Amino acid sequence: MARIGLLGGSFNPAHRGHRHISLAAHRALGLDEVWWLVSPGNPLKPKKGMAPYDARFKSAQLMSRRAPIRASDFEVHAGTIYTVDTLAAIRKAYPQHEFIWLMGEDGVAQFHQWKDWRGLARTMPIAVMTRPGYKDDARAARAMGWLRWFVRPAAQAINWTNWSVPAITFLRLPPDPTSATALRARDPNWFHDLEATGRNRS
């Protein structure tokens, strides 16, 4: 039975910040692997400025090399759009593993907008990771009015497989200021070279 952290996102593009927080969560939670779930399309993000899926997936593969991180196209094959459906499908597909959902503090601020977010919280534990500038927004988030009853101390995070759900912990990880938005602003056509290489999934 493996201990797997799941990090979803557009990865538009994948960058060192994704790798940094994934490796930090890997250590803090005693994970065997982190799976990057590259989303075909985030319902809460505009389509404008979104690079083609193949390029985003390739960028995730390249950024996760030589690390206990695996880029995954599970959502494409499962045909899921919403995280709550994806996590249910993953648990069904891999009953032999233990899973914890990883999300940034920015995600907590809009968590109440996610489809069946309470159901998601009842599916597997959640670990919230530091993101510069979002601490106050996360703590004051609308969803925290309910989730605050299920907060577990970060000092006990290594024991997350023993928690009953809902369970959420806030990991104070070394921050990384890298931003996909800033990277796209610097190079809007970042994906052209990757797109030309074609799809190369593992």
- Give 145-191 pLDDT, tens digit per residue: 999 999 999 999 999 999 999 999 999 877 666 665 555 556 666 56
> What is the rounded average pLDDT of the residues 123-138?
77
Confidence of residue 198 (pLDDT cuts 50, 70, 90): very low
Long-range contacts of 26-31 (CB under 8 A, 24+ apart): 26/68, 26/69, 28/127, 28/154, 28/157, 28/158, 28/171, 28/173, 29/3, 29/5, 29/100, 29/127, 29/157, 29/158, 29/160, 29/171, 30/3, 30/158, 31/3, 31/4, 31/5, 31/68, 31/100
pLDDT score of 48? 78
Kindly provide the residue ranges of all beta strands, DSSP E only, lying in the chain, ordered along the sequence.
3-9, 33-38, 69-72, 98-104, 126-129, 151-152, 168-171
* % of the chain beyond a pLDDT of 70: 81
Q: Is the pTM of this model over 0.95?
A: no
